[in-house]
Structure 1
Amino acid sequence: MNHSLSRRSFLGVTAGVGAGATGLLTAGCSGGGGGGDTVKIANTAATASLTINHLMDELGYFATFGVNAKITNVSSGTQVVAALASGSADITVLSGFIGMFPAIEKGLPLKALGGTQVVATEAFFTGNPQVRSFQDLAGKTLGVGAVGAQLYDGFIAVLNKYKISPKDVTFRNVGSSADSFKSVLAKQIDVGYGQVGDQALAKPKGVRMLNTVAGELPLYINQGSVASAKAIAGKRKALVKVLAAYAKLFQYLTTDESKSKYVAAYVAAGGGKDEAEIEWAFINKYTAYSPTLDLPEAKFDYVQQLNVEAGSQKKVLDYKKYTDFSLRSEALALLK
C-alpha cells in the first residue's frame, strides 16, 4: 500500500490528464489479501477522498475481506465516467452521482450499487459583505463548474429555492469546488463552494460560510457507488467485498475513536489539522458516510431533476432500472 501522493502533489501530476482511460494515474491506496480478481476503483481526487484512501490503507479493511483493490484518483467526475466506460475502472465509490445519470440515459451500462457520502460535506462561502443570505444572490457572480456539473446544478437548485432567475446572476466556470473556494478567498467571485472544514481557512481572509449544502438542500446526495455491468457480471464477489470494506470504514467513522485517525489521514492527504477537525465533527455528527450504503430514491430523483433543469438530462430515470442493491445486501451480510 502506498501513501506517497498527497492531494496537492497528485493534482500537480495529473494536470492536463485527459478524460480517456489511458490518462488515469494510481494514487493513495491499493492492496488486499488472497487471490482472485483485482477490483479497479476510480474515485475523484478531493482531499476527502484521499483521506479515505489513507484510512483504508492504515486500517487494512481490504485485507480484512480478502479482496485485491487498486484505487485510482482523478481530478473530475468526467474522468471517472470515462474510466468506467472504457473498462479501466470496474467501480467508483467516491464520485459525484450527477454526471452518472446523463451517461446512463445515453446507454452506458452502469448500475448504482449504493450510497456512500449521502450527506454532502460541501458548503457555500462568500467574502462579499453585501451577501447576507441567499436572497442576495441576484446580480452576483457565482463560482461553478461546467453546465450540468455538480457545482452548477447546486446553484441552480439554490436559485430555484429563492425564486431567483439564473439570468439574474453571472456564472463563472472556475473548475472544481477547491478552485471555487480559492476564487472566493481571492474575492474573484461573490459566492462559491468549499468544504465544511474550510471555515478554518475562510475566517482569516474575511470569508464566511453561508450554509452547508446539506443544510440548504437537504435532498441533495453527493456520492455513491456505481459499477459497470461487465464488472458486476465478472467480478461480483470481489465487488461485494469492496463494498463491505467501505461500509466497515463508514461504520468506524461514526465512532469517537475515529477522530484522531481521520485527522491524521486528512493531514497526510494534504489538508490542515484545523480543517480536518471541523470536517470530522460534521461527518461524525451527521453520519455523512452511510454505514449501510443507503441510497434514498427521493434524493436520487431530486438530483436527476436538477440535471433536467440544467439541460444535461432529458428526464428522470426509473429508479429500478439504474440500481442493483443485491451486491449491497451481500456486502452488509459480510459485516454481521
Structure 2
Amino acid sequence: MFKKRSLAVFAGALALALAATGCSGTVESLAGDSGSSSDGRSVLTLQDSTSYTQLPIRFGVEKGFFDEEDLDVKFTQVQDAVTGVATGELTLAFGPTSNYLRGAEKGAPIKIVSSAFRSKGPFFLIARPGIKSFADLRGKTIGIATAGSSMETYTRKILSANGVDPDDVSFIANGVNEQAYGTLTSGQVDATIIHQPFPALGELQGKSVTLARGWDYLPTYHTGVLIAGNNVIDNDPDLLRRSLRAYFKAYTYAKEHYDEYLPWLKSKLGTIDPKAVELALRQEDDIWDNNPAVDPVAIRDTQDIEIEMGLQDGPYDAGKYIDTQFIPQEYVKDFTYPRPAR
C-alpha cells in the first residue's frame, strides 16, 4: 500500500511541475534571453544552490574555468528543475537519474546529456544514538527525504539487505540536508537517509551514528545526471559542449587540489564544523569520479530496481532520453563500481 501511495504522490507532483507554464520562481526573469550576454558571450544559467556538493561550480567560476569557455554563469532559483530546463529558464540541471527519466517518459521535453560528477548513490543511513544495529530499527520511524525518490529506494534496499522488512518500519517524507538532519536531532525520526556533510557532522557532534553507505548496497544504481531542454540541445549545442567542459574541469580540479579546495569550501560553509566538512569529503571520495559517460548497463539496472520497488510500472526505452554527444571526451573513464555489501 505504501509503495502505491509513494508512486501516486510522485506522479502528482511531477504532473504539477510539468503543467507549469510561467516563471517558476526565478530571482531574475530570463524571458526573452537569447542565451548571449551583451558582449556576445554565452550565458549559462544554473539552478541556485549552496549545497556542498554543488559548490565546486562556484569554485570553478572563481577559478575562471567558465570564463575560459566564454561563459557568463548566472544562478537563478526555480521551484522545479525539470520545468526549469523544459521552459529554458535553466541551461542545465543536476539531479536524480530515475526521476528525470520518468519525467522524460511522461513527456517533459528534456534529455540527459551527461552523468554528473558522480553517479553512485552518495547517501548515508544515519540513526540517533542508542540504535546500535539494523534490528533496532524495527518499529521505528525513518525519514526517506521524498516519497518515491531514489533515497527511498536506497533505504528500502539497505533495510532488506540487513534483515529488516521495510513494512516493519514507518517511513516519512522529511526533506533533505538541514531539514532532514533537524528531524533526526529533534527526535521526529529515529533514522534518516541523508547527504553529506550531515553524517560527518552527526558523528562529530555525537548526535548520530552511521549505519550504511548507499553505494555499498546499490553500486550500479545510477543516481546523478545533468539534463538539458530539447530546445537548447537542438539550437545551441556548442553552449552545451562548452558548459560541460567547464563543469568537469571545475569538479576535477577541486578533487585533485583538496589543499586549495578544502579551505575554500570551509569558508563557504561557515555554519558547519570545519572538521565535519573535511571528514565529509574523505568519506565519499571514492565515488567522486568525474566521469561524464552514461553507462547503459547502470541505466538498465536502475530501471529494474525501480520496477522491483514498485516505483515504475515497466521498462521503457531510456536511450530515447539520453544524448551524450556533448560530453567532453577528455574526462571519459572506464566504468568502475564498488563491491556490493554482503
Q: TM-score, normalised by structure 2?
A: 0.77
Q: 2:259 aligns to what SS in structure 1?
A: helix
Give the corresponding residue for 2:315.
316
Structure-2 residue corresponding to 1:55: 59
For 1:241 and 1:260, how far apart are their aligned partners in 2?
24
2:120 aligned counterpart, secondary structure: coil
| Between 232-241 and 60-69, the greater mean CA deviation after superposition | 60-69
**Kindly tell me: are residues 91 and 153 of structure 1, through their superposed partners in 2, closer, same or farther at Cα, counting changes over 3 Å?**
same
Summarize deviations over 1:173-230 as a string: whole Å, max 9, x none. Answer: 1112432222222232121123343344213334111122222332233321111111
Partner of 1:9: none
Question: Within 5 Å, which residues of 2 pair with 1:16-31?
Answer: 21-25=23-27
| Residue aligned with 2:80, SS | helix
8 Å CA contact 2:144, 2:151 repeated in 1: yes
- Tell me the distance in 1 between the aligned counterparts of 2:330 and 2:67: 15
Equivalences for 1:169-180 in 2 at 5 Å? 169-180=169-180
- Candidates 71, 75, 96, aligned match of 1:71: 75
Which residue pairs with 2:11 in the alignment?
A: none
Query: Per the alignment, in what secondary structure is the counterpart of residue 98 of structure 2?
Result: coil
Paired residue type of 1:46:
S
**Counterpart-to-counterpart distance in 1, 2:38 and 2:292:** 23
Task: Provide the alpha-carbon RMSD of the alignment.
Answer: 3.0
Identical-pair percentage: 18
Asked if the contact 2:201/2:273 (under 8 Å) is kept, the reply is no
Structure 2, gaps ≥5 residues long:
1-15, 29-35, 333-342
Residue 156 of structure 1: aligned partner:
156
Matched, 1:250 2:251: yes
Structure 1 portions without partners, runs of 5+? 1-17
Provide the rounded CA distance (Å) in 1 between the counterparts of 2:199 and 2:176.
18
| Paired residue type of 1:300 | I
8 Å CA contact 1:113–1:324 kept in 2: the answer is yes
| 1: CA distance, partners of 2:65 / 2:37 | 8
Q: CA deviation at 1:332?
A: 5.2
Q: Report SS of the residue matched to 1:327.
A: coil
Any conservation in 2 of the 1:197–1:276 contact (CA below 8 Å)? yes
**C-alpha separation in 2, matches of 1:199 and 1:167:** 25
Deviates most, 81-90 or 269-278: 269-278
Q: Which runs of 4+ in 1 moved over 6 A?
A: 31-34
Deviations 1:78-127 (A, max 9, x none): 711121222212321x3222321221111112211111122333311111
Q: Distance between the aligned counterparts of 1:296 and 1:304, measured in 2?
A: 13
Alignment partners' CA distance in 1, 2:282 and 2:186: 27
Structure 2 residue 39 is the aligned partner of structure 1 residue 38: no
* Greater Cα shift, 143-152 or 32-41: 32-41
Deviation at 1:259, TM superposition (A): 3.5
SS in 1 for 2:326: helix
Q: Deviations over 1:238-272 (max 9, x none)?
A: 111000001112221342x3333234234314543
Q: What residue is the counterpart of 2:113 in the other structure? A: 113
Of residues 209-218 and 38-47 in structure 1, the stretch that sits farther from structure 2 once superposed is: 38-47
Work out whether residues 143 and 189 of structure 2, in 8 Å CA contact, stay in contact via their aligned partners in 1: yes
1:34 and 1:248 map into 2 onto residues whose CA distance is 24
1:202 match:
202
Q: Distance in 1 between matches of 2:147 and 2:64?
A: 39
Q: Is the CA contact (8 Å cut-off) linking 1:122 and 1:193 kept in structure 2?
A: yes
Which SS does the other structure have where 1:238 is aligned?
A: helix
**1:231 positional shift:** 0.8
Measure the CA separation in 2 of the matches of 1:32 and 1:274: 40
Cα shift at 1:34: 6.5
- Distance apart, 1:55 and its partner CA: 0.8
Superposition TM-score, scaled by structure 1 size: 0.78
